[in-house]
Amino acid sequence: MPHPNQKGYFGEFGGKFIPETLSFCLKELENSYRNIKKDKNFKNEFKSLLNQYAGRPTPLYYARPLSNYLGMKVYIKREDLLHTGAHKINNALGQALLAKFMGKKRIIAETGAGQHGVATATAATLLGIKCEVYMGQEDMQRQKANVFRMRILGAKVIPVKTGSKTLKDACNQAFRDWVTNVSGTYYLLGSAVGPHPYPKIVRDFQTVIGKEAKRQILQAEGKLPDYLVACVGGGSNAIGFFHPFYKKTKVKFIGVEAAGFGLGGLSAASLVKGSLGVFQGSKSYVLQNKNGQIKNAHSIAPGLDYPGVGPEHSFYKSIKRAEYKAVSDKQALEGFNLLSRLEGIIPALEPAHAVYYLKKLAKSAKGKTVILCLSGRGDKDLDIVRKSVILSPKGEGSHSS
Amino acid sequence: MKIETKFNQLKKEGRKAFIAYFPFGFPKISYSNDIFLALQDAGVDIIELGFPFSDPLADGPIIQKASVTALEQNISINSFFANIRKIKKEIKIPVVVMSYYNPIFKYKVGSFFQRLRENEIRGTILVDLPFEESGNYINAAEKSGIDPIFFITPVTAAKRMKKIAKGAKGFIYYISTTGITGPRSLQHKDIASHIKRIKEISNTPVCVGFGIHNNQQVKKISSISDGVIVGSEIVKFISQNYKKKNFLKRLKNHVRKLRS
């Protein structure tokens, strides 16, 4: 059975839980996407943008020092080398091109870490479409450099001062904008979350990661890997990476969520700690209290700081196709150091969670072959890492090595 | 009182429905029943009692802010029902509950309708539960004799409108313009032509909400529909006046002026 089905469900997860006004927008999006996916001009233009502009294919790098250190064969899929510094550009270019083909004059987006905002601002500028990005006020403080980058690129950054002032509220605000401006505006959602067809569209545009990795690992090793490891916030880099290997059941998938201050406290580990709910358009795992109110998430990595997760990951969890683990702020900083010191690669704090998890995996997977998806680079996080001592309530997570 | 009975009564009297929205627990749980009874006293025909949600993505700043305040008191569906039960004997008009889907999903749809029935609440409106996702919900509603109320908007396609109107119970909630809740100016001509189209395919009363915030709009929209829903304006009035002396009297006067 193809996933998602016609109603946008991956098993029991997904769907379209939205205010009536948006039915119109989502139907239009669904129809346009279905037509454009088969359009030769679209396919050629998208491919050429990915290759000529974004810098694809990205290398699959054999990480010798890290492999020696861990006693596993570790390959790194270098999404951090892409233009704008993260995998987000794959989806932003795809959707911005879709917006252009649909004749939309204005693109809106939400952003947490600012990577999706920067990628969207970049793609919109390139294609000559006006761009406005909603960003939580707290994230604007945490990721000042990205706010500046978006503004340099000509995008308008709109601070969101409601709720937790982070990604989930930026997302609410983008939906409110879209409900108001239904016909001329394209909502460029940044992760594989939200109502159908977004989880599918975003996944499709990100599967380039997994497709390339598959080809590259076969070339390098002559066989498929034992494990794929990626960080999961909303889950777009992970689903794009995993999906092309879906039927290769010997390849194990591990998604690494943010445990924040630890699983007992504030976290962003929707799959590990959450329960089934309906949030921002789809049925999926979500962090909520016993009254069905959505909790505020916390992670040192702004891109993981989200209480929900894409429905396809919930589906993978339910059928045990993937395993989901959680890594704390403190451990993520350890992962950040590890990759920086061993490989000379400074990772973004989001994939630093996945880097740390490799250490745990190594205990039971000696000699195995692993591909890590390095979804972004760490330039944006230098301020956070520098201040990381004060980020933790008990003074844990001190960053001194 | 059933919603249908109310509309029949209004028809006989040659009046249109004035429906008032306010969120439970705002500004405090202890205010909710007093506000309810004041609105009833002021001649409100149907009360739309909101159960606040943490992420109200169809609501404007006024209701967002009120939701945050209400949720600070850690309200639950159970406390919601326990509270309204206290004034059950005094309630003379139909009550509908308005919320988002997740709190109800978490509580379990079946149990929720059981509670509604026990408390003689007549209808439900869930903002983010569109028609195609509501199979179980409609069944549960039917089983308990409660009206599931659905939205039609200016951009609802004709085919879809037919489907929604066909299954409609209680009243159809027509959204005046694309957008979120909160005060704004309205295009009466557009609203009138949309309502005419709905009326061609359905006998269910059509009430208009979103944006209506003054007496002039209430009059104009009432003249082209079966009633109006006023929300943000009432919430705004509550938030600006609840600390003042004679708050309930002021609220009654304000609502009387709105619907006069």
Read off the pLDDT of residues A178-204 as tens digits, 9 standing for 90 and up: 999 998 999 999 999 999 999 999 999
CB contact under 8 A, B68 and A180: no
| A18 chain-B contacts, CB cut-off 8 A | 128, 130
Our CA angle for B59, A267, B51, nearest 5°, is 30
CB contact under 8 A, B55 and A279: yes
Catalytic residues of A: 88, 110, 375
Contact criterion met (CB below 8 Å) for B149 and B124: yes
| Selected residue of A134, A173, A176, A187 to mutate for chain B interface (largest B Cβ count, 10 A) | A176
Which pLDDT score is estimated for B192? 96
To the nearest whole percent, how much of chain B has pLDDT over 90? 97
| Selected residue of B65, B100, B155, B162 to mutate for chain A interface (largest A Cβ count, 10 A) | B155
A206 confidence band (pLDDT: 50, 70, 90): very high
Q: Name every residue in A having a CB less than 8 A away from some CB of B.
A: 7, 15-21, 23-24, 27, 162-163, 168-169, 172, 175-176, 179-183, 277-281, 286, 288, 290-294
Question: Averaged over B94-100, what is the pLDDT?
Answer: 98
Asked if the model's pLDDT at residue A393 lies above 60, the reply is no
CB contact under 8 A, B102 and A20: no
Q: Name every residue in B having a CB less than 8 A away from some CB of A.
A: 53-58, 60-61, 64, 68, 71, 74-77, 101-107, 127-133, 150-153, 155-157, 160, 175, 178-180
| A29 chain-B contacts, CB cut-off 8 A | none
Per-residue pLDDT tens digits for A342-386:
999 999 999 999 999 999 999 999 999 999 999 999 999 998 999
Which pLDDT score is estimated for B7? 98
| A15 chain-B contacts, CB cut-off 8 A | 133
B130: nearest CB among A18, A180, A286? A18
| A197 chain-B contacts, CB cut-off 8 A | none
Contact criterion met (CB below 8 Å) for A396 and A330: yes
Per-residue pLDDT tens digits for A106-160:
999 999 889 999 999 999 999 999 999 999 998 999 889 999 999 999 999 999 9
Per-residue pLDDT tens digits for A270-311:
999 999 999 999 999 999 999 999 999 999 998 999 999 999
Our CA angle for A185, A126, A136, nearest 5°, is 55
Other C-beta atoms within 10 Å of A40: how many? 7
Residue A57: asked if its preceding bond is cis (omega within 30°), the reply is: yes
Other C-beta atoms within 10 Å of A181: how many? 16
CB contact under 8 A, A17 and B129: yes
B102: nearest CB among A20, A23, A277? A277
A389 confidence band (pLDDT: 50, 70, 90): low
Separation between Cα atoms, residue A63 and residue A370, nearest integer Å: 10
Separation between Cα atoms, residue B107 and residue B48, nearest integer Å: 20
Asked if the model's pLDDT at residue A27 lies above 70, the reply is yes
Please give, rounded to a whole number of angstroms, the shortest distance from the CA of A173 to a CA of chain B. Answer: 7
Which pLDDT score is estimated for A394? 47
CB contact under 8 A, B58 and A179: yes
| A16 chain-B contacts, CB cut-off 8 A | 130, 132-133
Contact criterion met (CB below 8 Å) for A145 and A380: yes
C-alpha neighbours within 13 Å on the C-beta side of residue A130: 6
Per-residue pLDDT tens digits for B155-202:
999 999 999 998 789 999 999 999 999 999 999 999 999 999 999 999
Task: List the catalytic residue out of B41, B45, B59, B147.
Answer: B59
Other C-beta atoms within 10 Å of A325: how many? 20
Separation between Cα atoms, residue A62 and residue A221, nearest integer Å: 10
Architecture per CATH, domain B3-242, reads as Alpha-Beta Barrel (3.20)
Separation between Cα atoms, residue A352 and residue A338, nearest integer Å: 9
CB contact under 8 A, B157 and A27: yes
Question: Euclidean distance between the first and final Cα of chain A, in Å?
Answer: 50
CB contact under 8 A, B160 and A23: yes
Question: Averaged over A14-39, what is the pLDDT?
Answer: 96
Contact criterion met (CB below 8 Å) for A132 and A106: yes
Asked if the model's pLDDT at residue A397 lies above 80, the reply is no
Please give, rounded to a whole number of angstroms, the shortest distance from the CA of A108 to a CA of chain B. Answer: 15
Separation between Cα atoms, residue A293 and residue B99, nearest integer Å: 12
Q: Which residues of A184-200 are buried (b: 16+ CB within 10 A; e: fewer)?
A: ebbbbbbbbbbbbbbbb
Per-residue pLDDT tens digits for A263-279:
888 999 999 999 999 99
| B153 chain-A contacts, CB cut-off 8 A | 20-21, 24
Question: Averaged over A304-326, what is the pLDDT?
Answer: 97
Contact criterion met (CB below 8 Å) for B107 and A292: yes
Task: List the catalytic residue out of B45, B48, B147, B233.
Answer: B48
CA B190 to chain centre: 22
A2 confidence band (pLDDT: 50, 70, 90): low
Which pLDDT score is estimated for A264? 84
Question: Averaged over B15-26, what is the pLDDT?
Answer: 98
A1 confidence band (pLDDT: 50, 70, 90): low
Q: Is the pTM of this model over 0.90?
A: yes
Structure tokens at A264: 């007992």
Which pLDDT score is estimated for A398? 42
Which pLDDT score is estimated for B198? 96
Q: Which residue of B has its CA nearest to A161?
A: B61
Separation between Cα atoms, residue A272 and residue A304, nearest integer Å: 14
CB contact under 8 A, A292 and B105: yes
C-alpha neighbours within 13 Å on the C-beta side of residue B172: 30
Which pLDDT score is estimated for A132? 98
Q: What was the ipTM of the complex prediction?
A: 0.95
Structure tokens at B233: 């304006």
Beta strands in A273-391 (DSSP E): 275-279, 282-286, 322-328, 369-374
